[in-house]
Amino acid sequence: MYVIDPPKQASLAVQGSEARFPIRRIFCVGRNYEAHAREMGKDPTREAPFFFTKPADAALDTPCTIPYPLLTENLHYEIELIIAIGKGGVRIAEADVMDHVWGASVGLDMTRRDLQTEAKDMGRPWDWGKAFDDSAPIAPIKPLADVPSVETGRIWLAVNGKVQQDADLSDLIWSVREHVSILSHAMVLAPGDVIMTGTPAGVGAVVTGDVITGGVEGIGELEVTIGARA
Ligand code: MN
């Protein structure tokens, strides 16, 4: 019994299935490709990975149209490999990480870059730059048994057909096994947790009417259109 109707369970489509993947939390890895760390003005030496979060209901299925978000004048795309956790755990060893992974996909860590930059400059939290409505469009999850690799494979993004991000999963500073293990030493991971694993170089702005396409080789592709301002 609830005093108001409970919120709808956030979820994502699954490749080849009518059943959906329920989302508990969304964790995001910051600066996980060297060239992207450099373009953001940071030293890409192998400092410990850091994380931020988005609300579960920031996720939405693709293809989709997302409204141009409130409050920003500089909306950026970030194409990312997505990891979906099927079995929870704490202090997971690197060698055991894949036993906890249900599947993988490709998604966008949409970013209100002006608000994120202001937050960095002022020593404030990143939430307003990262954790806004509709900020995590994600392609249907591919079950792990059908995923060729989360360690190698092209990751790319194009805006209106022009390629802007083009890298390989092997460029990840912290691999999936490494960063999921590290994350599990900070949070007790649970089924339904989703991890956005960081973006390669080439981030940039999009405006109303732009069409973003992107993918990870062997895992999936997405298409997202930027709609009118919310
Ligand atoms: Mn990101």
Q: Cα of 20 to ligand 1 centre, how many Å? A: 24
Q: Cα of 110 to ligand 1 centre, how many Å? A: 8
pTM of this prediction exceeds 0.85: yes
Q: Cα of 17 to ligand 1 centre, how many Å? A: 28
Q: What is the pLDDT of residues 99-114, one digit of tens each?
A: 999 999 999 999 999 9
- Give the model's pLDDT for residue 43: 77
- Give the model's pLDDT for residue 196: 98
Q: Cα of 7 to ligand 1 centre, how many Å? A: 26
Q: Cα of 203 to ligand 1 centre, how many Å? A: 10
Region 188-216 average pLDDT: 98
- Give the model's pLDDT for residue 171: 94
Rounded to 10 degrees, the C-alpha dihedral 31/34/38/39 comes to: -70
Q: What is the pLDDT of residues 118-135, one digit of tens each?
A: 999 999 999 999 999 999
- Element of type H or E holding 159: strand 154-159
Residue 122: CB partners within 8 Å, gap ≥ 6? Answer: none
Q: Does the domain at residues 11-229 carry the CATH identifier 3.90.850.10?
A: yes
Q: Cα of 6 to ligand 1 centre, how many Å? A: 30
Q: Cα of 1 to ligand 1 centre, how many Å? A: 38
Region 89-98 average pLDDT: 98
